[in-house]
Structure 1
Amino acid sequence: MNASTLVMVPARMASTRLPGKPLADIAGLPMIVQVVRRAEEADVGRVVVCTDTQEVAEVVRAHGGEAVMTREDHPSGSDRIYEALEAIDPDGAVETIINVQGDLPTIDKAAIRASILPLAAPEVDFATLTTQITDEEERSNPNVVKLVGTEVSPGILRALYFTRATAPHGDGPLFHHIGLYAWRRAALERFVKLPPSPLEMREKLEQLRALEAGMRCDAAIVDTVPLGVDTPADLDRARALLG
């Protein structure tokens, strides 16, 4: 475990499609605790849940985890983890922050570890994950975000764009973006202070704000897409997978 790396899990109760989902039971544990377990299994750094709900914090602590309270008005998980980071590490000892979404109970520990690999290149501001699309339906599904990139080393793509469209055009693989990020601290601070950008608002993808500002994002290619729990059907699938 690296003391300069912090795994932060943002969680909020105000989900419109699945209210109260951080506390939904999955295989005998609240979903947020399942996510904490996966992050702990990765063994890359201290794990902290960042939440605006006291009940979530209490549940995490009751299961031996660490939780930090944040404001309710954050527009994104990135803003939430930055507030928590400043509160728990005001002296700046933490250099790398891995943002693991609180609705990914099936995330593979190997994927969490892979997210920091692109940061070995000093010119990379933040890193993410991607996997090659094998399901034909996903190629045209706007809910599947595509990463358009170019290979810079084996298993690593430099992200040139993110889109809900089918892209790039022509023959060749398409890549499904996985919304897990590893940030250099300075890059995260810069990002949360930027205003929303035109392409971000058009595509409804906040990572485009960083690209429009000239920040570099590289992506590690992994084998699988973790199940994001957004609906009751997703919750049933997660229960089946982890049960």
Structure 2
Amino acid sequence: MKVFAIIPARFGSYRFPGKPLAKIQGSPMILHVYQRALKVPGIDQVVVATDDSRIVECVETAGGTVFITDPGHTSGTDRIAEVARLLELSENDVVVNIQGDQPLLDSRPVVAIIKMLLDVPDFAMTTPACPLEAQEALNPNRVKVVVDNNWKALYFSRAVIPYYRDADTIEDMPEESGQYYLRHLGLYAYRQNFLQTFVNLPHGRLEQIERLEQLRALENGYSIGVVRVEEAPLEVDTPEDLDAVRSALAGQ
């Protein structure tokens, strides 16, 4: 059994075209992600999956491994599943989906979701979540997850879940509201056999309503394990986010 980190990188981002090649301290963002992924303990190989020749050239010039994928893919998961097939992984190999917009990637959540996947065979996939304050929970771009006592995901939503019945307004929430809300973070680990199953499942009703791909697994009866981490990484969705990352790196 081997562990592969696959980084989907799409050039044509709606909010930030060319994002993977945006420079941070003189180096394209995709290379920051790639180099950090290489340092994660337990990962055997790191690969970039892209639909754009400019990203291919960037990664290959830096000595990295990259595959060009079908431009018709509708999600990063479809892209990494194609690369996993091209790599001819065995069915029990582990694939980690590392988003290409995390140039400050922390190895600890990656290690934790791999460990949970290997320790709990009942989980088809694993993902991290961190505490979220009540005011932030109102933001539909902060995806919430609720879990059972064994940290199995019950549901993911853009809505405020769980609903705190004893507070009339969000301002009435107790200061420790972070213990009620968990923010889902876009990092996943799967076994190769489930990854290939997942991308061939029909898109679910809840998935389409919420626009949350992971709901497809729950709607089809598969279990998702959730690992609690303490904070969310800085992600780059807009040029303004890039400035925040540059500032963070300058302070290190």
Matched position secondary structure for 2:199? helix
Q: 2:210 aligns with which of 189, 203, 211?
A: 203
Percent pairwise identity: 41
Change over 3 Å in CA distance of 1:87–1:118 after alignment to 2: same
Q: 1:166 aligns with which of 152, 160, 164?
A: 160
> Residues 117 and 220 of structure 1 are in contact (CA less than 8 Å); yes or no, is this contact kept in structure 2?
no
- Aligned: 1:230 with 2:237: yes
Q: Tell me the distance in 1 between the aligned counterparts of 2:91 and 2:77.
A: 19
Residue type of the alignment partner of 1:6: F
> Residues 92 and 193 of structure 2 are in contact (CA less than 8 Å); yes or no, is this contact kept in structure 1?
no
> Residues 131 and 183 of structure 2 are in contact (CA less than 8 Å); yes or no, is this contact kept in structure 1?
yes
Superposition deviation, residue 93 in structure 1: 6.8
Superposition deviation, residue 110 in structure 1: 1.2
Q: Tell me the distance in 1 between the aligned counterparts of 2:42 and 2:63.
A: 18
- Aligned: 1:20 with 2:14: no
> Residues 98 and 183 of structure 1 are in contact (CA less than 8 Å); yes or no, is this contact kept in structure 2?
yes
Matched position secondary structure for 1:125? strand
Q: Tell me the distance in 2 between the aligned counterparts of 1:136 and 1:164.
A: 13
Please tell me the root mean square deviation across aligned C-alpha atoms, in Å. 1.4
Consecutive unaligned residues of structure 1, counting only runs of 5 or more, are: none
> Residues 10 and 81 of structure 1 are in contact (CA less than 8 Å); yes or no, is this contact kept in structure 2?
yes
Segments of 4+ moved more than 3 angstroms: none
Consecutive unaligned residues of structure 2, counting only runs of 5 or more, are: 167-178
Q: What does residue 122 of structure 2 align with?
A: 123
Q: What does residue 64 of structure 2 align with?
A: 65
Q: What does residue 185 of structure 1 align with?
A: 192
> Residues 4 and 93 of structure 1 are in contact (CA less than 8 Å); yes or no, is this contact kept in structure 2?
no
Q: Tell me the distance in 2 between the aligned counterparts of 1:147 and 1:116.
A: 19
Q: What does residue 212 of structure 1 align with?
A: 219
Q: What does residue 172 of structure 2 align with?
A: none
Q: What does residue 141 of structure 1 align with?
A: 139
Alignment: residue pair count? 235
Residue type of the alignment partner of 2:50: T
Q: What does residue 44 of structure 1 align with?
A: 42
Superposition deviation, residue 117 in structure 1: 2.2
Change over 3 Å in CA distance of 1:14–1:167 after alignment to 2: same
Superposition deviation, residue 64 in structure 1: 2.1
Residue type of the alignment partner of 1:71: D
Residues 72-91 of structure 1: pairs in structure 2 closer than 5 A:
72-89=71-88
Name the larger-Rg structure.
2
TM-score, length-scaled by structure 2? 0.90
Deviation sequence 1:102-140 (CA, Å, 0-9, x none):
11111211121112122111111000000111x332121
> Residues 6 and 94 of structure 1 are in contact (CA less than 8 Å); yes or no, is this contact kept in structure 2?
no
Q: Tell me the distance in 2 between the aligned counterparts of 1:151 and 1:31.
A: 38
> Residues 5 and 94 of structure 1 are in contact (CA less than 8 Å); yes or no, is this contact kept in structure 2?
no
